[in-house]
Amino acid sequence: MSGSNEPIYPVGYKKPPQHTQFKPGQSGNPHGRPKKVATFEEALRTELLAAVTVVQKDGKRRRISKQTAMLRQLINEAATGNLRAAMWISKLALSLKSTERSALDELVQTMRNRHAQLEVASQKQTRRTRKSGPGRRQEVAGTTAAAGGPR
């Protein structure tokens, strides 16, 4: 302790040296966690949904997504007789119909399966609780229950 006015600070377990401790208001991770790198699909979706200003025939300006602008342009090209544009539009329309149809078919099949499961459960419940008279249960599938014994 030659010439130092600092108080004695014991360094040891859970007591790091003071010069290595974080200063008040200082973060332990100043730059933070790195941002997630966008996948190709995410970047494409972001760019397609970005707004662009379009001047319409009547002179008004409107902001629409790039995706909408591209589709309008493609449809207009197909309407003027561009066969490639017409092929693209027809392929897009067919792919959308098949996608919607497959999703609908899947939903219908799921609902049918669930309905069948509920029917089976309902039949089992009905068999258990069906009664033929006061205090007596009806014979179900060759078994008897409760008050009657074998008949």
Tens-digit pLDDT profile for residues 30-64: 888 888 888 999 999 999 889 988 888 788 888 98
Q: How does pLDDT run across 4-25, given as a tens digit for each residue?
A: 676 788 899 999 998 888 888 8
- Which neighbouring-strand residues pair with 143? 140
Q: Which pLDDT score, from 0 to 100, does residue 39 have?
A: 92
Q: Is 84 helix (H, G, I), strand (E, B) or coil?
A: helix
**Which positions ≥6 away from 54 have C-beta within 8 Å?**
61, 62, 63, 64, 69
The reported pTM is: 0.43
Q: What are 113-132's pLDDT values in tens digits?
A: 888 888 888 888 887 776 55
